Each structure stands twice: as structure tokens, then as C-alpha cells.
Amino acid sequence: MAATQRPGAGAPKVRKRSRWGRRLLIVIVLFALAGFALMRYAMQRQGPSVFQATLEESYPNVAKAMDSVARRSPDGASMTASQLMSAAAVSGFRGLDDQSLMNFTTLRSELAAQSDVTTCAGLWSGNPQNLVPAIEALPDDQQRQWAELFDRAAVAAMNGAPGLPAPSPAAFQQSMNRIVGQMSSSDAQLLKQVLEDPQHQTPANQCAAARAFYGAITRGNQTDVVTITRGMLNQ
């Protein structure tokens, strides 16, 4: 955050807004990229869960999305499958409509709240592990929503959906200030600590930061949630 700006009451004063952007970008974007990867992983599992059964109907769209990205990219012919999947995920999530982004945020918040500490910490660090078992442990309706979200992202990438433009830095800053201002002073301080010293945090601290951030953002209004999520996806 800018040095001359203060978040709401009880929120930490962060000197550079880009610090929020860089750290929270990792939280959102890498988690989005993991989504397509775990689609492929889930297809190899035995005894399909609701999540896997729904993905079986959606997975062909991922292949089409990767092909579409390869055809649109100047260096698409030389990109590996992993690179194409990542590019398709970025393109797809950027192309989601506002309501889908709201659903994405709600689902992540619920997953952070309900998963074990290790999985929850991965949502923060950008290195999510055991995501398939964690999603499969959720209620059937949430499993289905996860699979449908990845399908919508794949369709958006396949169709080359441009998505809405990134919000202005000022709009992003104002939304972040309001979200952080809703946190308790202890949660805001923890978030500040984890953002400023990410290399020296325990999984418990990372998980607590994830739960604090996602809990706060889901209490925000739709404009702020979409502004923050879309801003990070477009950085």
C-alpha cells in the first residue's frame, strides 16, 4: 500500500501497495493454475467422487482450451503441455464473469476454513498440496461447484473470452483498504507479518493468514471482491 494511505481501523500500514499485489497475486493465481492440473490428476483416481464425476464431463474442454491458447499464442507450437495448461488457466480465469469470481472467492474461503493446516497453508503459499482429497472431503454441492468453476474457466479460455479490464490502481487500493479494515487488529497484524516476511513462516501462520484474508474478503461487498480478484488475475 502507498506510504501516505492507511487501511481501515485496526489494519496494518503497508508501505508499498505492490507488496500486497505481489503476495496476494501468488495466493490467487497459482491456486487458479493448480485447478487445471488437479483436474488431470483427479481423472486418474479410482472410485470417482462427486468432484471427479463432474470433471469427467468437463475435462474435454480443458484440452480444447489448451489447443485454443496454442493457436492464439505466437510461440504456441513450442509450448509444453504444462505451459499450455497454465496459459489456459490464466486466460480462463481472467475471462470469468463477476458472479463466477465471487463463487471462486467463496469456494476458496470455505476450503481454507475446512481443510487441514497443511492444505490451508498451501492456499496461501501458492504451493497447494493434497487439493484433490481436500476438495473431495467437502460437501457434494461444493465439490460440484469446484468442478463447474474449472469448466467455466476452460470454456472461457477456449472461446478466447477477453474478460473485463483490470481495475485502476486507485480502485484496487480502495477495495483492499476496506477489506483489510474489516479485520480484527490481531488478524491484520498477522497478515502484515506473513506478507512482509514470507520466508520465515510456519504452516500454521500461513494457514491463519489465509483464513483471515479469505474470511475478510467474503464479508466484503461484490464490487470490492471482484475488484481485488480481477486486479490480481490481471497483474
Instruction: Note the pLDDT tens digit of each residue in 9-35.
Output: 333 333 344 444 344 433 444 455 555
139-149 as b/e: b if 16+ CB within 10 A: eeebbbbbbbb
CA distance 152 to 170: 29
Of the listed ranges 155-169, 182-196, 216-230, the least confidently predicted one is 155-169
For residues 215-235, average pLDDT: 89
What integer pLDDT is reported at residue 198 of this predicted model? 83
Stated pTM of the model: 0.74
CA distance 214 to 94: 19
Output 150 or 223, whichever has higher pLDDT.
223
Output 183 or 43, whichever has higher pLDDT.
183
Output 146 or 76, whichever has higher pLDDT.
146
Of the segments 19-23, 36-40, 41-45, 96-100, which one has the largest average pLDDT value? Answer: 96-100
What integer pLDDT is reported at residue 2 of this predicted model? 36
pLDDT of residue 207 exceeding 90, the answer is yes
CA distance 201 to 130: 20
What integer pLDDT is reported at residue 151 of this predicted model? 85
CA distance 74 to 6: 43
